[in-house]
Amino acid sequence: MTALRIGNASGFYGDRFDAMREMLTGGELDVLTGDYLAELTMLILGRDRLKDPSAGYARTFLRQLEESLGLAHDRRVRIVTNAGGLNPAGLADAVRQLAQRLGIPVRVAHVEGDDLGPRCPDSLTAHAYLGGFGIAACLREGADVVVTGRVTDAALVTGPAAAHFGWGPTEYDRLAGAVVAGHVLECGTQATGGNYAFFRDGSGDVRRPGFPLAELHADGTSVITKHPGTGGFVDVGTVTAQLLYETDGARYAGPDVTARLDTVRLTQDGPDRVRVEGVRGEAPPPTLKVGCSRLGGFRNEVVFVLTGLDIEAKAALVRQQMEPALAEVADIRWELARTDRADADTEETASALLRLVVRDPAQEAVGRALSGAAVELALASYPGFHVVAPPEKGSPYGVFEAAHVPQGEVEQVAVLPDGRRVAVPPAADTLVLDDVPEPLLPEPLAPGATRHAPLGLVAGARSGDKGGNANVGVWVRTDEAWRWLVHALTVERFRELIPESRELPVTRHVLPHLRALNFVVEGILGAGVASRHRFDPQAKALGEWLRSRHLDIPEVLL
């Protein structure tokens, strides 16, 4: 059976608008996917639905489809997307109306059953992460466009693969291979040189990376590539980086299968082609993850600019002056960023930033604390007083929480193009997840001369968020560097380099085939991205901070 070519045209709600057309016109495809959902997106869509019950889906998808549905139909490319968000039936109806208006005969289906809102009355949104077999059921019945709500990102690939190759629910190795391919594709251009640690070393122009595609085979192996002539590049490093993104340990669990990331083997298969093989799969866990979003209260902030001399004393003065106004606020955070330089030749580089963030259940409390007190200090505080922007009345913030429910309690339904509703059974076999024992480590490098230098001279990193936790994947490109990294970058050394993690649980996972370590830092993001707990609320740059830290590196690696 020929390979199934699956491309991706969206990594998040707000990604490149022209990507759908670019992917449909750039080369051969069988299926085009679009990932629009993230933890924060669900909260945004939930607030949209509060204002308009017919809302709750990614409207950008409809606008993209208006100019691309004819192309997809002419090229016989099926489209699979989770843009349905909180309202997949509503988006499916909107797609039918669009197709009718354009005069294009399109069969539309959708998947539902993920919405667990009635069980979680205190949540704005509560959705189970479904797998790919609902999508597969729709495609097997001839759907041209399949719309889902909350499915795992990889399900957008496992569903089409299962339908095309006829995989059953217990063909775990094949399904795991598709999960790995789906995880590489899900964030779009992050697989083709976007957000890549070694972007200066790549073979392609990363100013406008092309979107990725996977050539999937019946045995679950795949080749990650991109359309000819598009920007960016695909190599073992870009694929490794994306494999480490927002994962935990060796077991990558999903509703259909648990993929063993410690079995993945990557090889360069030509220019802009990386072969993915060796992936082993296990039965999925007995529960499904449920993402719950709720409003946590109100948030406000002000950033004071401190210029020139006496930065610490200026910061201390304004903090003392603000204390009376903050006495009754529930949560207060001060952060001083020493962006100033001595004898600076511009005012901006002579300035530091003092950031005050307040949170409280009452909007009036955060508005009064900053809008009044901070502004009143304009002529009565440190010399050179000014702020980046005047504080406002405060805005609501969200809280993300993860829960789990037994697979059998979620009723997944495929709503076919002819309107028939087909129940999609839960996984027949399940396996409770256990930690994978740390593998045998290679012999360390022989002792030799070292240089105190940034970790990033030899190691790449990519980091991201999962609720309140962050993960930092670190990898190297040679066996010699791996022999050093796996012994040098312990949990203790990680905590030394990232002081924020010193009082938090940190777990290290070893992935020798990828020459990679994955660190999970629990609680560093507070209640998740929507709570905006820290300066970098999604930990996107945590890995780059780690790469900038200095440690003793063997000269032979430099």
CA 65, CA 75: separation in Å to the nearest integer?
Answer: 14
Nearest to 207 by CA among 194, 217, 219, 220: 194
Query: To which residue do tokens 């069980």 refer?
Result: 119
Residue 398 pLDDT: 87
* Arithmetic mean of pLDDT, 144-148: 98
Helix (H, G, I), strand (E, B) or coil at 466: strand
User: 248, 262 in Cβ contact below 8 A?
Assistant: no
* Arithmetic mean of pLDDT, 115-121: 85
Angle at 57 between CA 52 and CA 58, to 5 degrees: 120
Higher pLDDT, 530 or 183: 183
pLDDT single digits (tens) 346-366? 999 999 999 999 999 999 888
Q: What percent of the chain has pLDDT over 90?
A: 84
Confidence of residue 187 (pLDDT cuts 50, 70, 90): very high
Instruction: Please tell me the number of Cα atoms within 13 Å of 126 on its side-chain side.
Output: 14
Query: What is the chain's alpha carbon radius of gyration, rounded to the nearest angstrom?
Result: 25
Residue 295 pLDDT: 87
In DSSP notation, 2-33 reads PPEEEEE--SSTT--TTHHHHHHHHS--SEEE
Residue 59 pLDDT: 95
**Both tokens assigned to 142:** 């001839």
Helix (H, G, I), strand (E, B) or coil at 63: helix
Confidence of residue 380 (pLDDT cuts 50, 70, 90): very high
Higher pLDDT, 381 or 117: 381
Confidence of residue 110 (pLDDT cuts 50, 70, 90): very high
Q: What is the largest CA-CA distance in the chain?
A: 77
pLDDT single digits (tens) 461-495? 999 988 889 999 999 999 999 999 999 999 999 99
Residue 387 pLDDT: 94
pLDDT single digits (tens) 277-312? 999 999 999 999 999 988 889 999 999 999 999 999
Confidence of residue 534 (pLDDT cuts 50, 70, 90): confident
CA 105, CA 95: separation in Å to the nearest integer?
Answer: 11
Residue 58 pLDDT: 96
**pLDDT value at 412 more than 80:** yes
Higher pLDDT, 172 or 40: 172
Residue ranges, comma separated, of all CATH 3.30.70 domains in the chain are 296-398
Residue 234 pLDDT: 97
Higher pLDDT, 66 or 47: 66
Confidence of residue 248 (pLDDT cuts 50, 70, 90): confident
pTM over 0.75: yes
Nearest to 317 by CA among 381, 247, 225, 222: 381
Residues in Cβ contact with 357 at an 8 Å cutoff, skipping those fewer than 6 apart: 299, 300, 301, 332, 333, 335, 532
User: 183, 243 in Cβ contact below 8 A?
Assistant: yes
Weakest mean pLDDT among 217-221, 252-256, 512-516, 521-525: 521-525
* Arithmetic mean of pLDDT, 362-371: 85
pLDDT single digits (tens) 434-468? 888 888 899 999 999 999 999 999 999 999 988 88
User: 276, 180 in Cβ contact below 8 A?
Assistant: yes
Fold of domain 296-398: Alpha-Beta Plaits (3.30.70)
Contacts for 76-79: CB closer than 8 Å, 24+ residues apart: 76/30, 77/24, 77/29, 77/30, 77/31, 77/32, 78/30, 78/31, 78/32, 78/139, 78/143, 78/144, 78/145, 78/146, 78/160, 79/31, 79/32, 79/33, 79/34, 79/144, 79/145, 79/146
**pLDDT value at 122 more than 90:** no
Phi, psi of 91 (to 5 degrees): -70, -40
Question: How high does pLDDT run on average in the chain?
Answer: 94
